[in-house]
Structure 1
């Protein structure tokens, strides 16, 4: 069999030899030698010397190196000049080999790895409950199986939903002709919805106090909206995406028994209300200064500053949680993150009660819609098509797997790490993190814009970052894991009831922490996900087990590629502690000005260069420019992470005393392999709708510009690929912060 871009050593290759690229032919020969030697001599680690010019190089012939070389070749488009477009060079063939599936809005290397992880989780959750399974794992399997029982979900229709809406939430006016305005109380409705972790109109949560990171505090903010982000509401009232959202609300109301004409009128009213709410909320661009988001006051002051809503009753009722009612007095301190929103909100709350009630319940229904019978999910799919470009729904098992992992992440994570995680990755990550911290420290000494006093405390902050790798140890302890989920009892034949139980549990889990001290070593994510995190208030970096796999990490591939991939991710998260927002927090995770004003001004000038640079990139899929302001923190982290990881790799080589053998069939140096490993992490395709959404709402630049933008500023890259000054990939003007 001979397929484009696939390297195969199977039978004869003569039939398709002519169609191979030079790189592929070279690799096929070397792979054949590798396999032959491995079979005949049982060789597991081999290298041999070949002459290249005047220099003698060693070639790695291990299976791991052969696989790494194969992956590179299947992604690289050697027809593209790396100095003219390194994304197309590194990812050109990957992009051609990965068309976007109908049920996805984009596909990239993250998506591919996430699919691999989710398939593993599916198999684990679908396995029969065994007597050997501990209680926590049994609960995960029960939840998953209840979600997969579509026949029963259809039979029960909306029985559970009806009970919640009528008995707990006061009814939905659009479908209830007996609904009376005099029976509606906004405070009571919002409190009831918060019990289900749904927060329309006002967001209230217990969070770590930014200026005293050892304690928790009640925090109030503008809410999330029904559409992906605020900017969707700032367009023409006849915008196609707004109309798709309105149509979804109308159709779901009709499916729940509303009169079609009444549904059209009521849903138009709630969209107008939501547009007004979006307009009074603060933009993402203006939410990057943490000091401006930190407005502490007492509940008494809150009531005096924002009149027209019974704040004391609202907060005291919300904190009256089952089994742990928390006393709230008028002197209780709260944080207001968006004061301007609350100032204008008081006027909007005079809106007709029917509109407020319809809107509040609509946000609840939209949140649970994906868990309802099939006809509701089909309506959501039509809406998703308008927003993201997807043309079919994702399989049911994916929804169920994600939901189970979200709710019982440590139980699912235990199953995953026991079968699919190599603990050697943990020790190597610890070493790499230490090396990245050392390289960051070296770079600090070279920064001319930073004074000595700030340099010292910045170094201390980097050195004292907590690192969380793979998974929390407690998930392997039967007693501790069972204890974590002791309050949860899922019913095998009542999925929607299980959903509501989970929503209530999430709400309680957050609120009950108000009087608890902060455990900064607590994991804030589940192990079986493909992502990485930095927490400013914890000053911690987290790398779950899910991301410690190819293409990010593999113990069998050259260290140059590991440092280019997971190493840059480590540096990225580390740099978040020093981006435009992270730099406002000290080593203890407290929001305070620990830099001098002069150094802050120099930093902001450096950051401004990054902001302007990325604002000039046009995303071809959407024909729109990147928002350099909202993405500046991520772009600073990308640039800093690349620089730190390359230096860490070079220091690793220097300490080792010699370079690793080269990959078979390729002419790349290890410096070049580093940058290829980096770039191929971001290979991807996206639909125009998704690109549009990404620019409007995303904090990250699209993958193409995470490669191009970062490498535009890298002298190490230009040197490695010998890009002449003034070529596209080596512009004369470069922006650097860290």
Structure 2
């Protein structure tokens, strides 16, 4: 018998009743499934039909790129289909955001964190490279990791003390301190050579408007009330540790004596300014005033008013020694000072204070200013990863990594054209305004036309080695400690800022460019669009045009709008403080802005109720209003016939989809901070940025057919232009 013959034959015994039972069970199961599906559709409230999930249909004209699929995911999964869009559009579009995300903040915040993760990944790989900028980043990153693993507290305090000795004799640390050894300009120049820009009385700041601005420094309690508040306990502890770890004996009354001397100095400053100092120093926050709030003077006039300070020598100490005279020749005419009481007024108050203050007190003030900057380093290091510190130290080099490895350069040209489209829409809005005077219209249009732009990064960065050339002067040794390396970085960043003012570097080296954001500089009449915001998920070359405009077109219009908010409108096309409005137009503008102020103050926010302050946020609200209106105008010019659809929204009205896409930027979890903290913020709440702003837009009410008097279509709307 073969093996096949030995295999048993299966025995089938299917009784008719068994077959009938199986059939009935299968039929009942199918019926239950159909009922569930039907009920799922019919249980939705009638008012939510606009937000019901559209069925998928076959259509060849659908954007199926990974970026479009991500966008479709956000549109579908963040919406709350139980909410009527005419009642609460923010909840309708963003109500389920919490169920899909773990990151606090909006998707803009999430994108910024992703950029950091990408830089971290690149640094962890430690790939061989010939790029000087990347080599420098890798060195800094490795040194930071070593620093995090080892406790080198003593070494740090010893190096701080060594640096202090380079600045000049410190009375607190030297019992035999002799005022004949004190030279104010020596100490300040030595501070500048370290890359420091704060000198106790004043700061020297290279700015984005291509000036070197000398400002009155913020005399805060950290300088004048050592040990009197909890924040200053850290200052006192660090000073004691500096002295202890360097075997310097501390006299019992040294802190009290120094504090008393500095208090007298601050009293002298405030006496000149005629301020009430009886209420205690906690109320005195001698802050820098914004540049456009006062007049400025040049370096020649500053020399006359404060002859005791050699500002030229101090500024030159901030410049790289290898090209000091070359750079100075380019920036000498760009040095300005704020003409304000008491330091730089025509009454020579600052000069009088310098001549009458004991030299010991002046020396202590300068050293304290240095120590406070070191305290800031201690605080900033807490909780920061080495990647975060590396990105902060070398923002432009980090940006280069993102551009080279994680960015579709096709987005640059598309976004640049979109700036022009939105700009034109703004101009048309001004032209059609029924209340603006013709003269005011001409000035506004002129400012909009001349407004410059930087989309992503300057074209000069495309040249191989363009950035690396600036790192040639950054010289380190493998034996350098992390503390010494950080000091070199501080010096390097200051030098790069001076290079920017001298127009040798095309972008100011700052971490802001890594935010998924855009910005407007009113002093330069300049719009800047950062790389992360012209990238997925906000923007991609594969997106339908309406999706691009709804997403970042509103943001572009917002930044253009800052040129015409309550502050920006007081500057002309060249960034000069000038009132180019007729009195009648100015009065009407203020009336319309007040409507927005009142609207925000009376807005019933889901997190804070009717407790918000419209005066604090008015500039951002004005920019939002301009942003949604200009982007809508730009969108309405599109030919939508051949535009690809978004998966799941093939039959969805595109006008409605425009507002859905625009709302995505402000989706975020519920706010967990206090009302008092919210009242300090210049941006309105996310709920208002959707519900408040969109409710002022007739086009939104028309798109969703919202009844007049409904929350999203109020009878009274606040319109600007």
* TM-score of the pair, normalised by structure 2: 0.75
Q: Is the 8 Å Cα contact of residues 188 and 314 (structure 1) preserved in structure 2?
A: no
Q: Is the 8 Å Cα contact of residues 144 and 404 (structure 1) preserved in structure 2?
A: no
3-state SS, counterpart of residue 453 of structure 2 = strand
Q: Which residue of 1 aligns with 2:668?
A: 684
Residue in structure 2 matching 1:90, options 88, 93, 114: 93
Partner Cα separation in structure 1 for residue 623 and residue 616 of structure 2: 13
Q: Which residue of 2 aligns with 1:701?
A: 684
Q: Choose 671-680 or 333-342, whichever is displaced more.
A: 333-342
Structure 1, unaligned runs of 5 or more: 1-13, 35-45, 49-57, 101-105, 210-215, 382-392
Q: Choose 426-435 or 355-364, whichever is displaced more.
A: 355-364
Q: Choose 160-169 or 661-670, whichever is displaced more.
A: 661-670
Is residue 718 from structure 1 mapped to residue 701 from structure 2 by the alignment? Answer: yes
CA RMSD of aligned residues (A): 4.5
Partner Cα separation in structure 2 for residue 135 and residue 569 of structure 1: 35
Q: Is the alpha carbon distance of 1:314 and 1:562 closer, same or farther for their aligned partners in structure 2, counting shifts above 3 Å?
A: same
Using the TM superposition, give the Cα deviation of residue 30 of structure 1 relative to its aligned residue in structure 2, in angstroms. 8.6
Q: Is the 8 Å Cα contact of residues 76 and 90 (structure 1) preserved in structure 2?
A: yes
Q: Which residue of 1 aligns with 2:273?
A: none
Is residue 364 from structure 1 mapped to residue 373 from structure 2 by the alignment? Answer: no
Q: Which residue of 1 aligns with 2:217?
A: 223
Q: Is the alpha carbon distance of 1:28 and 1:181 closer, same or farther for their aligned partners in structure 2, counting shifts above 3 Å?
A: farther
For residues 481-560 of structure 1, the aligned pairs below 5 Å read 481-492=467-478, 493-511=480-498, 516=502, 528-560=514-546
Is residue 73 from structure 1 mapped to residue 72 from structure 2 by the alignment? Answer: no
Q: Which residue of 2 aligns with 1:734?
A: 717
Partner Cα separation in structure 1 for residue 709 and residue 228 of structure 2: 44
Q: Is the 8 Å Cα contact of residues 253 and 263 (structure 1) preserved in structure 2?
A: no
Residue in structure 1 matching 2:121, options 107, 123, 138: 123
Partner Cα separation in structure 1 for residue 556 and residue 410 of structure 2: 17
Partner Cα separation in structure 2 for residue 369 and residue 637 of structure 1: 37
Q: Is the 8 Å Cα contact of residues 169 and 193 (structure 1) preserved in structure 2?
A: no
Q: Is the 8 Å Cα contact of residues 206 and 218 (structure 1) preserved in structure 2?
A: yes
Q: Which residue of 2 aligns with 1:385?
A: none
Using the TM superposition, give the Cα deviation of residue 611 of structure 1 relative to its aligned residue in structure 2, in angstroms. 3.5
List per-residue Cα deviations over 1:423-471 (Å, max 9, x = no partner).
Answer: 2211221232222122112211211232223323432332333332222
3-state SS, counterpart of residue 149 of structure 1 = helix
Using the TM superposition, give the Cα deviation of residue 421 of structure 1 relative to its aligned residue in structure 2, in angstroms. 0.7
Q: Is the 8 Å Cα contact of residues 683 and 703 (structure 1) preserved in structure 2?
A: yes
For residues 392-403 of structure 1, the aligned pairs below 5 Å read 394-403=383-392
Q: Is the alpha carbon distance of 1:129 and 1:327 closer, same or farther for their aligned partners in structure 2, counting shifts above 3 Å?
A: closer
For residues 73-222 of structure 1, the aligned pairs below 5 Å read 73-95=76-98, 97-98=100-101, 107-130=105-128, 132-150=129-147, 151=149, 154=152, 156-168=155-167, 170-171=169-170, 173=172, 188-195=186-193, 196-199=195-198, 200-207=200-207, 217-222=211-216
Partner Cα separation in structure 2 for residue 600 and residue 93 of structure 1: 43
Q: Is the 8 Å Cα contact of residues 219 and 285 (structure 2) preserved in structure 1?
A: no
List per-residue Cα deviations over 1:635-673 (Å, max 9, x = no partner).
Answer: 221110111001101111xx3446653541687532222
Using the TM superposition, give the Cα deviation of residue 89 of structure 1 relative to its aligned residue in structure 2, in angstroms. 3.0
Q: Is the 8 Å Cα contact of residues 500 and 508 (structure 2) preserved in structure 1?
A: no
Q: Is the 8 Å Cα contact of residues 466 and 541 (structure 1) preserved in structure 2?
A: yes
For residues 626-645 of structure 1, the aligned pairs below 5 Å read 626-645=612-631
Q: Is the 8 Å Cα contact of residues 499 and 505 (structure 2) preserved in structure 1?
A: no
Partner Cα separation in structure 2 for residue 134 and residue 402 of structure 1: 16
Q: When the two structures are aligned, how many residues end up with a matched partner?
A: 644
Q: Is the alpha carbon distance of 1:367 and 1:99 closer, same or farther for their aligned partners in structure 2, counting shifts above 3 Å?
A: farther
Partner Cα separation in structure 2 for residue 366 and residue 80 of structure 1: 52
3-state SS, counterpart of residue 541 of structure 1 = strand
3-state SS, counterpart of residue 731 of structure 1 = coil
Q: Is the alpha carbon distance of 1:536 and 1:722 closer, same or farther for their aligned partners in structure 2, counting shifts above 3 Å?
A: same
Partner Cα separation in structure 2 for residue 420 and residue 503 of structure 1: 28
List per-residue Cα deviations over 1:186-224 (Å, max 9, x = no partner).
Answer: 555444434423314312235577xxxxxx554332335
Partner Cα separation in structure 2 for residue 21 and residue 125 of structure 1: 49
Q: Which residue of 2 aligns with 1:55?
A: none
Partner Cα separation in structure 1 for residue 669 and residue 201 of structure 2: 36
Q: Is the 8 Å Cα contact of residues 611 and 628 (structure 1) preserved in structure 2?
A: yes
Q: Is the alpha carbon distance of 1:728 and 1:437 closer, same or farther for their aligned partners in structure 2, counting shifts above 3 Å?
A: same
3-state SS, counterpart of residue 339 of structure 1 = coil
Q: Is the 8 Å Cα contact of residues 299 and 311 (structure 1) preserved in structure 2?
A: no
3-state SS, counterpart of residue 467 of structure 1 = strand
Q: Which residue of 2 aligns with 1:313?
A: 310
Q: Is the 8 Å Cα contact of residues 726 and 732 (structure 1) preserved in structure 2?
A: yes
Q: Is the alpha carbon distance of 1:29 and 1:667 closer, same or farther for their aligned partners in structure 2, counting shifts above 3 Å?
A: closer
Q: Is the 8 Å Cα contact of residues 84 and 729 (structure 1) preserved in structure 2?
A: yes
For residues 401-412 of structure 1, the aligned pairs below 5 Å read 401-406=390-395, 409=396, 411-412=397-398
Partner Cα separation in structure 2 for residue 184 and residue 146 of structure 1: 36
Q: Is the alpha carbon distance of 1:310 and 1:510 closer, same or farther for their aligned partners in structure 2, counting shifts above 3 Å?
A: farther
Partner Cα separation in structure 2 for residue 164 and residue 671 of structure 1: 63
Q: Which residue of 2 aligns with 1:448?
A: 434
3-state SS, counterpart of residue 95 of structure 2 = helix
Partner Cα separation in structure 2 for residue 169 and residue 619 of structure 1: 55
3-state SS, counterpart of residue 82 of structure 2 = coil
Residue in structure 1 matching 2:657, options 655, 660, 673: 673
Using the TM superposition, give the Cα deviation of residue 313 of structure 1 relative to its aligned residue in structure 2, in angstroms. 2.5
List per-residue Cα deviations over 1:336-390 (Å, max 9, x = no partner).
Answer: 436145368789877777776555544434434465xxxx55xx78xxxxxxxxx
Using the TM superposition, give the Cα deviation of residue 420 of structure 1 relative to its aligned residue in structure 2, in angstroms. 0.7
Partner Cα separation in structure 2 for residue 414 and residue 601 of structure 1: 47
* TM-score of the pair, normalised by structure 1: 0.74
List per-residue Cα deviations over 1:10-60 (Å, max 9, x = no partner).
Answer: xxxx9xx99x98799x999999x79xxxxxxxxxxx617xxxxxxxxx876
Q: Choose 356-365 or 558-567, whichever is displaced more.
A: 356-365
Q: Is the 8 Å Cα contact of residues 142 and 491 (structure 1) preserved in structure 2?
A: no
Q: Is the alpha carbon distance of 1:266 and 1:189 closer, same or farther for their aligned partners in structure 2, counting shifts above 3 Å?
A: farther
Q: Is the alpha carbon distance of 1:28 and 1:637 closer, same or farther for their aligned partners in structure 2, counting shifts above 3 Å?
A: closer
For residues 462-477 of structure 1, the aligned pairs below 5 Å read 462-477=448-463
Using the TM superposition, give the Cα deviation of residue 674 of structure 1 relative to its aligned residue in structure 2, in angstroms. 2.0
Partner Cα separation in structure 1 for residue 99 and residue 258 of structure 2: 43
- Higher-Rg structure is 2
Q: Is the alpha carbon distance of 1:520 and 1:115 closer, same or farther for their aligned partners in structure 2, counting shifts above 3 Å?
A: closer
Partner Cα separation in structure 2 for residue 255 and residue 623 of structure 1: 48
Structure 2, unaligned runs of 5 or more: 1-32, 245-249, 268-279
Q: Which residue of 2 aligns with 1:256?
A: 242
Q: Is the alpha carbon distance of 1:78 and 1:447 closer, same or farther for their aligned partners in structure 2, counting shifts above 3 Å?
A: same
Q: Is the 8 Å Cα contact of residues 88 and 712 (structure 2) preserved in structure 1?
A: yes
3-state SS, counterpart of residue 157 of structure 1 = helix
Using the TM superposition, give the Cα deviation of residue 316 of structure 1 relative to its aligned residue in structure 2, in angstroms. 3.9
Partner Cα separation in structure 2 for residue 669 and residue 166 of structure 1: 71
Q: Choose 183-192 or 436-445, whichever is displaced more.
A: 183-192
Q: Is the 8 Å Cα contact of residues 302 and 337 (structure 2) preserved in structure 1?
A: no
Q: Is the 8 Å Cα contact of residues 557 and 628 (structure 2) preserved in structure 1?
A: yes
